[in-house]
Structure 1
């Protein structure tokens, strides 16, 4: 494994192995990810191994989520190949992929959001800016905290995306990116939930 002497045997204590796995996963290169994740998942203590992998997945996905390139999709594809038999990890990867789709203005279904885990809903209300998702979670979030946060963020997003503000920024934004984003959000306001940008 990365960061470990080739002749070094895994530590007998699961806490030491867990710490070593986290260190190894933190410094891996993308090309090493599949092999290292597979190695961790061969550990006889499956609860510990999956805990280490989900921490890695959460860290990687969160760092790649807002990036406009294909690195998130590449990572998701790599991880899917290693965890397809493991329900918990597969669900977490699916929920990260759903969060990515919403963040990038892609397609999503209301049922996916409302039936997602508490973990997903907590993260969604903290990260997404899609008014339709926030409105949905304001009414149907599983926990009071998720509903309250969704309500608060929806109000903030609606203030930031009010048509008059967006129209102004479409014509007067300082950068081309600001003008294009304002234009896109202005057009998105009138489309049904889950429809991608044209």
Structure 2
């Protein structure tokens, strides 16, 4: 049996530490993970954490406060900053707060598909049904619109 690479073990350890961190401790753990010499692995662990935590939090005031704190901890890490911005856009769409169709149109395939599959906004689904980047996104949005009709 081949031994597990060290970065795989660190990745799992980071995800465990992040899952148990809360409040100000969470940003400290994020900063520690981002200090790992393997930047790709560190970014992957934080990205996974952002996805898990943001999905868990929903779109309310707790998400907004959390995202502001996390934004400081991930400052300068563009892939992570983009994912957090996209989670914020999703939260705005989901909560019925103002959002820009241009922002949704420029969003990653990941966010467009997540929105098409999970958001309850008729406006967002209409935008994606007509202008989603991929056939899968357009079809998912159309299917949700058809079910809502």
TM-score, normalising length: structure 1: 0.71
Return the index of the structure with the highest Cα Rg: 1
Residue 16, structure 1, aligned to residue 14, structure 2: no
Aligned residues: 145
Query: Which structure features the higher share of helix residues?
Result: 2
- Are 2:52 and 1:59 equivalent residues in the alignment? yes
Structure 1: tracts of 5 or more residues without a match: 1-11, 160-198
Check whether the contact 1:33–1:78 (CA below 8 A) recurs between aligned residues.
no
Aligned partners of 1:64 and 1:71 also within 8 Å: yes
- The offset of 1:30, in angstroms, is 2.0
CA distance in 2: counterparts of 1:145 and 1:30, whole angstroms: 37
Taking the aligned partners of 1:104 and 1:151, their CA distance within structure 2 comes to 21
Q: Distance in 1 between matches of 2:57 and 2:117?
A: 16
Q: C-alpha displacement at 1:125, in angstroms?
A: 0.6
Q: Give the Cα–Cα distance (whole angstroms) in 2 for the partners of residues 43 and 155 of structure 1.
A: 47
1:41 matches 2:34: yes
Whole-Å Cα distance in 2 between the matches of residues 108 and 20 of structure 1?
37
Is residue 76–residue 93 contact of structure 1 (8 Å, CA) maintained in 2? yes
Question: What is the rounded CA distance, in whole Å, between the counterparts of 1:110 and 1:71 in structure 2?
Answer: 25
1:76 aligned residue: 67
Query: What is the CA distance between 1:152 and its match in structure 2?
Result: 0.6
Relative to the length of structure 2, the TM-score reads 0.93
Q: Which ranges in structure 2 are unaligned for 5 or more consecutive residues?
A: none
